[in-house]
């Protein structure tokens, strides 16, 4: 069970957002996709989860063609996407946001046990389960967004900038949580981040995007010690 992306091209109108992107994510591994603003990171995830149509190329997950069918189908094949900027619905309660993640699942007792797992991971969410999501802090919302994704019983987690807008201490906590979740549930993860160093530190491998093209890829440790990557993306 691997995510295989091969020569993927995605356009916004006439403009190429993703050009000939190729990478693989082995099962249970975490791949960080880093790059500056506008590098096409979010577009890549949106194409993989079925929110955005691709122009050409291949993307497969468990022999399932990701470029065919749409988001509501992909989630049934174990793909959960936490989209950019606090992927929760503020008008619903905390528990309703979680239930939303499991709404397509037929087996309700399994869904209940997923909820217990999420509450065990993020006890704060259980304390606030009846509260309106609008009352949560930024960090709590990000926990909820990840919790909602876990409620869909994913095998592949697509995370878009989970650190966006969070204080440094919270960023550290969120990254630890992501790393633990990946190990605990054996999940494959594609983690899109501008916060390149933090992302690479918990990743097995990394892909560096610039203007929609892969400019560097390899083991996370190799990328961290690569002088060119350090200068351009890690800030020293």
Partner 1 sequence: MFEFINTLLIGITSGAIYSLMALALVLVWRSTRVVNFAQAGQALASTYFGFEAMKHIDNFWIALLIAMIGGAILAAFIEMVFMRLLLKHTSSGAIASVAPIIATLGLLEVIRALITLKWGGADVLIKAPLSNTGFSIGTHTLVFSPMKLAIIAVVVFLLSILSILFQKTNIGLSLRASAFSPELARLAGIRVDLVRTFGWALSGATGAVAGMLLVVNGNGSLSPASIEFSLLLISGFIAAVVGGLDSLLGTVIGGMILGLSTAFVLMYISDSLFFIAPFIILLLALIIRPQGILGKKGGRRA
Q: Summarize as ranges the residues that interact with partner 1 (CB under 8 A).
A: 49, 51, 70-72, 75-76, 80-81, 83, 87-92, 96, 99-101, 103-104, 148, 152
Q: Which helix (H) or strand (E) holds 198?
A: helix 196-202
Beta carbon of residue 217, minimum distance to partner 1 (angstroms, whole number): 27
Is 6 or 107 the residue whose CB approaches partner 1 more closely? 107
- 3-class DSSP assignment, residue 229: helix
Torsion angle defined by CA atoms of residues 120, 121, 123 and 129, in that order, rounded to the nearest 10 degrees: -90
Beta carbon of residue 213, minimum distance to partner 1 (angstroms, whole number): 26
Is 20 or 99 the residue whose CB approaches partner 1 more closely? 99
Q: What is the distance between the alpha carbons of residues 3 and 81, in angstroms, rounded to a whole number?
A: 14
Is 181 or 217 the residue whose CB approaches partner 1 more closely? 181
Q: What is the distance between the alpha carbons of residues 186 and 156, in angstroms, rounded to a whole number?
A: 9
CB 190 within 8 A of CB 4: no
Beta carbon of residue 158, minimum distance to partner 1 (angstroms, whole number): 9
CB 31 within 8 A of CB 25: yes
Is 148 or 204 the residue whose CB approaches partner 1 more closely? 148
Query: Among residues 181, 176, 167, which one has the least CA distance to residue 120?
Result: 181
Q: What is the distance between the alpha carbons of residues 208 and 138, in angstroms, rounded to a whole number?
A: 27
Residues facing residue 216 across a β-bridge: 208
Beta carbon of residue 14, minimum distance to partner 1 (angstroms, whole number): 15
Beta carbon of residue 97, minimum distance to partner 1 (angstroms, whole number): 9
Is 63 or 72 the residue whose CB approaches partner 1 more closely? 72
- 3-class DSSP assignment, residue 140: helix
Is 88 or 202 the residue whose CB approaches partner 1 more closely? 88
Residues facing residue 81 across a β-bridge: 158
Query: Among residues 211, 184, 32, which one has the least CA distance to residue 120?
Result: 184
Beta carbon of residue 223, minimum distance to partner 1 (angstroms, whole number): 29
């Amino acid at each position: 069970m691997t995510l295989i992306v091969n020569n993927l091209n995605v356009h916004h109108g006439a403009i190429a957002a993703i050009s000939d992107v190729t990478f693989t994510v082995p099962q249970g591994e975490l791949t960080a996709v880093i790059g500056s603003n506008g590098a096409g990171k979010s577009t890549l995830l949106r194409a993989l989860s079925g929110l955005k149509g691709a122009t050409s190329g291949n993307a497969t997950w468990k022999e399932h063609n990701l470029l065919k069918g749409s988001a509501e189908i992909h989630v049934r094949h174990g793909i959960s996407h936490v989209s950019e900027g606090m992927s929760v619905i503020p008008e619903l309660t905390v528990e309703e946001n979680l239930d939303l993640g499991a709404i397509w699942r037929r087996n309700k007792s399994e869904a209940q046990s997923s909820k217990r797992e999420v509450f065990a991971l993020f006890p704060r969410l259980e304390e606030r389960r009846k509260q309106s999501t609008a009352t949560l802090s930024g960090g709590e919302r990000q926990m909820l967004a990840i919790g909602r994704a876990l409620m869909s019983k994913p095998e592949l987690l697509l995370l878009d900038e989970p650190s966006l807008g969070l204080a440094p201490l919270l960023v550290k906590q969120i990254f630890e949580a992501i790393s633990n979740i990946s190990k605990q549930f054996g999940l494959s993860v594609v983690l899109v981040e501008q916060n390149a160093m933090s992302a690479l530190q918990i990743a097995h491998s990394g892909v560096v995007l610039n203007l929609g093209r892969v400019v560097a890829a390899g083991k996370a440790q190799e990328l961290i010690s690569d002088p060119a990557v350090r200068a351009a993306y890690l800030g020293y």
